[in-house]
Structure 1
């Protein structure tokens, strides 16, 4: 359940420089053009949706769809004054749009949480026009790396984090899934989130607590021990964190 505190944390995460850089990478690959109709699946607080709306302009249309009323309210506030933006309740397996209505669609860390990928990718293809393009970004659960002194605890924390994903290694199979759904993959890229310090505005500072969430038998003391070790590594100038996000650009075959 996404509550007000979750919304606030998400908005803060979307504003940090690492996530801004990721959003710029997405926009560069998607390349929305003036007059296009573009869909953001899992639009969240509306940061990417706002940027898409600016790119397509008032002659185009930018649609966001998300299952969270709280996120949709935040996105509506962010895009207020852009009448060519529309935000709808819905999710990836039941997109509330007619067939072939969009020129392009994007999803950021959505499909790794979707149980029925065949249905979700079929829905994605259905709402795109012939030749329309889709851009999907998801994370591989084996990619997060932190430098810690307690390797065993670090492995338990990462295993606990993996439990919240339905498809923790989706990027490895996504190209084939897209092909079977009627897409042709035209470009594949990796975007690395890398921090050499745990600064207040770094991506890793905003996400470390969520990696220690009580799964795998972790206690609050375990989580604090892990976090204290990371803070010590940063204070000593010995910090390293990275995580890989994989981007797949595809067109309707």
Structure 2
């Protein structure tokens, strides 16, 4: 699993502030179709950007609650604008009573969870009958990342998958949702695309150090090779290319 000290938290916040991820949050909010006074749960609230934005949509008569397993993420979320109810908790153990929420959202979380059916059962428990959920996760086989050394890139990405419980979760989520007592709609794909290296404004540029530090820490790929991988990507200039698909699943609780 990824661990978030002050430096890694800073890098994550930088990634969340890139136009790519800002646009992703805007798409998620559009797909949620939140209404004033609704009660919303954000499972894996992270630094709190989406939760704060949702709080603005449900207004003072609504509620946005956020849970996270990381105390450092909760600390960051507490600094956001908006009245948020923030608690320590996990996807498999949500610290709220049954039928507490009209809506639940989980972005980039379930791919980290070993027991997805248990997590979906918890979502079903805390969402009222007829309530709705939105889950966004990545299929890491969808990644296209140009490199000057394809073998090294493959080794880095293979090691990077070690931070996830299931790097290909979207492929089975429709069936898991049906089995858990939800009626899913048609999935939506949200691609991330960076053409030309932009060290400040692109998600993938922010991702380089996050990936590199995790991979180097595992010790499977030598640290010198990881450093060479980073330098190679940053040297590509206008020839830089990155694409990754994230998949959104919306469902109604039966």
> What TM-score do you get using the length of structure 1 for normalisation?
0.94
8 Å Cα contact 1:160-1:211 kept in structure 2: no
Q: Does 1:228 align with 2:231?
A: yes
- After TM superposition, give the deviation of residue 145 of structure 1 in Å: 1.1
| Other-structure match for 1:184 | 183
Residue from 32, 36, 39 that aligns with 1:37: 39
- After TM superposition, give the deviation of residue 216 of structure 1 in Å: 6.7
8 Å Cα contact 2:188-2:247 kept in structure 1: yes
C-alpha separation in 1, matches of 2:188 and 2:219: 32
Moved more, 119-128 or 224-233: 224-233
C-alpha separation in 2, matches of 1:209 and 1:166: 21
Residue from 19, 27, 49 that aligns with 2:21: 19
C-alpha separation in 1, matches of 2:196 and 2:22: 18
**Structure 1 residues without counterparts, runs of 5 or longer:** none
3-state secondary structure, aligned to 1:40: strand
Residue from 73, 76, 84 that aligns with 2:75: 73
Counterparts in 2 of 1:38-57, with a 5 A limit? 38-57=40-59
**Structure 2 residues without counterparts, runs of 5 or longer:** none
- After TM superposition, give the deviation of residue 228 of structure 1 in Å: 2.0
Counterparts in 2 of 1:191-206, with a 5 A limit? 191-199=190-198, 200-206=200-206
CA RMSD of aligned residues (A): 1.2
> What TM-score do you get using the length of structure 2 for normalisation?
0.94
- After TM superposition, give the deviation of residue 225 of structure 1 in Å: 1.6
3-state secondary structure, aligned to 1:78: coil
Post-superposition Cα deviations, 1:12-54, rounded to whole Å, max 9, x if no partner, equal 1111111101101110111111010000000011100001100
Counterparts in 2 of 1:118-129, with a 5 A limit? 118-129=117-128
| Other-structure match for 1:208 | 208
| Other-structure match for 1:244 | 245
* Structure 1 stretches of at least 4 aligned residues deviating more than 6 Å after TM superposition: none
- After TM superposition, give the deviation of residue 204 of structure 1 in Å: 0.9
- After TM superposition, give the deviation of residue 217 of structure 1 in Å: 2.4
Moved more, 210-219 or 184-193: 210-219
- After TM superposition, give the deviation of residue 68 of structure 1 in Å: 1.4
Residue from 212, 218, 222 that aligns with 2:221: 218
8 Å Cα contact 1:209-1:223 kept in structure 2: no
C-alpha separation in 2, matches of 1:197 and 1:31: 34
Post-superposition Cα deviations, 1:115-166, rounded to whole Å, max 9, x if no partner, equal 1111100000110011100000001121111111211111111101111110
8 Å Cα contact 1:40-1:65 kept in structure 2: yes
